[in-house]
Structure 1
């Protein structure tokens, strides 16, 4: 699909890990025949891969994982679709990016098993969404386009 335009973030939001990237333009993705958007300014911390698994799976910012991880993180923030659908879309996007079906299946099983702890937004997540909403409004855009 489209190019993922990111920049590293020197000071990440409190709900992110130490290393994060921020979108510098809206990113489109397709789900069920419809185009959806992740907004400019959204920060994400790559694929959630334990460091012990880097040798087998790769690092969180492996190029083949970046788009799928971005959309998956966005959907876990906004809940625009059900969690199971977000995990399935993650798998499909990994496969579309050239990740082998076995590795993509393992990654999908991992988000299905451990994602429940990240699905529910805590106070830091809600504060981040409010700040992001303000940035979108200040940029002259409508937050509802992004599921906010």
Structure 2
């Protein structure tokens, strides 16, 4: 998607996160296999947060953790329910985890035949992590520091 006009989000600390006119975006960096759980990146109340997050990640000067934190706060500001914000944040963190730390479940892809609509081993591992995280997040407060700690514990060990 190419943006037709500039828009931005100003976080609680006053930092302005801008998505400039003409920027190209493909969503919130939530793995596609989770879209059925949290929604596709161009729908719902988190759409604008997803676009700003995606644009921020293309800027080498922006720290990924800062962009992910902004995404959670922008989802809240956009009207998402607290549990939805926690799950969306978990989704972008899982996307980062899968990319940065590499999951190698697809090494086994040739063992079983793929069926139409079947999830591959990597998708299954991502979905399993998300399910465990979602269960843990349902039991936490909505405080971002707590949410971040729970997600980090599950993904970083």
| Separation of aligned partners in 2, 1:40 and 1:95 | 24
- 1:97-136 paired onto structure 2 within 5 Å: 97-116=78-97, 117=99
Give me the TM-score of the superposition, normalised by structure 1. 0.56
Residue aligned with 2:58, SS: helix
| Map of 1:30 onto structure 2 | 10
| Map of 2:74 onto structure 1 | 93
Greater share of helix residues, 1 or 2? 2
Greater share of strand residues, 1 or 2? 1
- Displacement after TM superposition at 1:49 (Å): 4.4
| Separation of aligned partners in 2, 1:114 and 1:54 | 12
Indicate conservation of the 8 Å contact 2:34/2:91, yes or no.
Answer: no
| Map of 1:70 onto structure 2 | 51
Distance 1:111 1:53, change over 3 A: closer
The runs of 5 or more residues in structure 2 that have no matched partner are 101-157
Residue aligned with 1:64, SS: coil
Offset from partner CA, 1:10-57 (integer Å, 9 cap, x none): xxxxxxxxxxx2111111221321334221110112234455544432
- Displacement after TM superposition at 1:72 (Å): 0.5
- Displacement after TM superposition at 1:90 (Å): 0.3
Offset from partner CA, 1:39-94 (integer Å, 9 cap, x none): 11101122344555444322221131211111101110003432111101101111
Indicate conservation of the 8 Å contact 2:45/2:78, yes or no.
Answer: yes
> For the aligned residues, what is the CA RMSD?
2.2
| Map of 2:109 onto structure 1 | none
